[in-house]
């Protein structure tokens, strides 16, 4: 009986290592990149457009890639939206997000709102948040990592 549980226990113990193994492809590393660093790292975007914030000074330029969107303020990345990041992908259940992020050593629950959950992320010189938005069925519709001080 105990032998049947060992593989599950090992898997649970390995999840943080698996998530940390993303290394250079860690989505957190996008935040703070200059335009030159972004293009050298991820290539030329498929398209570019602007997004109007609640105030005019909050307008962003958005670089669109096949894996997600990168939001630029002045000359640096301040936010990125993903189809998949940190072991989470769109369509995942809220329960699986909690499980995945509960085992991630760089994420701590910040806030749980009606249709979104926010996690503090470690690893940079500025405060970072991971936000997952959910539909009415509790499935992930959007994943964002962003500087919370801007």
pTM above 0.85, yes or no: no
**pLDDT over 60 (residue 5):** no
Q: Report residue 142: phi and psi, to 5°.
A: -155, 145
Q: What is the pLDDT of residue 55?
A: 82
How does pLDDT run across 19-34, given as a tens digit for each residue?
Answer: 444 444 789 999 999 9
Q: 116 with 73: CB under 8 angstroms?
A: no
Distance CA 68, CA 60 (A): 15
Containing structural domain, residue 88: 2-147
Q: Report the distance separating Cα 76 and Cα 31, nearest Å.
A: 8
The number of folded domains in the chain is 1
Whether 124 and 60 have beta carbons less than 8 Å apart is answered as: no
pLDDT tens track for 46-77 = 999 999 888 877 789 999 999 999 999 988 99
């Amino acid at each position: 009986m105990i032998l049947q549980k060992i593989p599950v226990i090992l898997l649970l113990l390995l999840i943080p290592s698996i998530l940390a193994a993303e290394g250079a492809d860690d989505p957190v590393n996008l935040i703070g990149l200059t335009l030159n660093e972004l293009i050298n790292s991820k290539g030329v975007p498929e398209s570019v457009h602007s997004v109007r914030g609640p105030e005019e000074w909050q307008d962003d330029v958005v670089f669109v890639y096949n894996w997600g969107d990168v939001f630029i303020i002045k000359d640096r990345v301040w936010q990125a939206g993903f189809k998949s990041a940190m072991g989470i992908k769109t369509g995942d259940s809220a329960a699986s997000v909690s499980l995945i992020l509960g085992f991630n050593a760089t994420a701590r629950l910040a806030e749980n709102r009606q249709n979104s959950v926010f996690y503090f992320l470690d690893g940079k010189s500025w405060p970072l948040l991971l936000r997952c938005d959910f539909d009415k069925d509790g499935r992930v519709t959007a994943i964002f990592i962003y500087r919370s001080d801007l």
